[in-house]
Amino acid sequence: MALAAMAFTSCDKVAEIENFAIKNSFEHVLKLDVKDTDPTAFVNSYTIDLSSDKEFKDNLSKISGYTLKSLTYRIDKFSGKESTTASGMIQFYDDADPIGKPIDLGKISFKAMNEAGTVTDLPLSSELKKLLQDKLMTSKSITIRVGGEVSDKPMTADFALALEIEALVKVK
């Protein structure tokens, strides 16, 4: 009997849910391939589309707000001189229009970061978070451009960038 009472209590609580959160880490691997004859500078961009995630897509019309939780990067693969480093920036875009200020990647030590499995958390200012959260409410996608310069060539690396986004979904 106690079990049945608990089951009814649990069902009552489910019926009271008015909103819930969904989140995903939208990750993309940028392939850096700088040959001997290439310039040392690189630029690569990609677009995060919220409808690429089933849970986000199924709830897009009911989302009342977004929270950007984190922006991270790691080096998954590396081939080149042990001393190869890079410096660079990340910039968010709405089509061709920049959103907020660029984010400095700091010094990237490819071999050391790859071997250690280092995940670097990049700072998102309150202002940038607000701009991106507002943009996602109207466009459902944003473009990220990564640009920088490597110290040595040739080199190849898989640069994995992840933006964790949480959405508040209103049920009622």
Q: How confident is the model at residue 9 (pLDDT cuts 50, 70, 90)?
A: very low
Neighbours of 65 (CB within 10 A): 15
In a domain, 3, yes or no: no
Looking at the 3D structure of the chain, how many domains does it have? Answer: 1
CATH number of residue 53's parent domain: 2.60.120
In a domain, 4, yes or no: no
Say yes or no to pLDDT of 166 above 70. yes
Which amino acid is located at 71 in the chain? L
pTM here? 0.84
Domain extent for 51: 20-170
Summarize pLDDT for 130-150 with one digit per residue, the tens.
999 999 999 989 999 999 999
- Tell me if residue 24 falls in helix, strand or coil: strand
In a domain, 14, yes or no: no
In a domain, 64, yes or no: yes
In a domain, 126, yes or no: yes
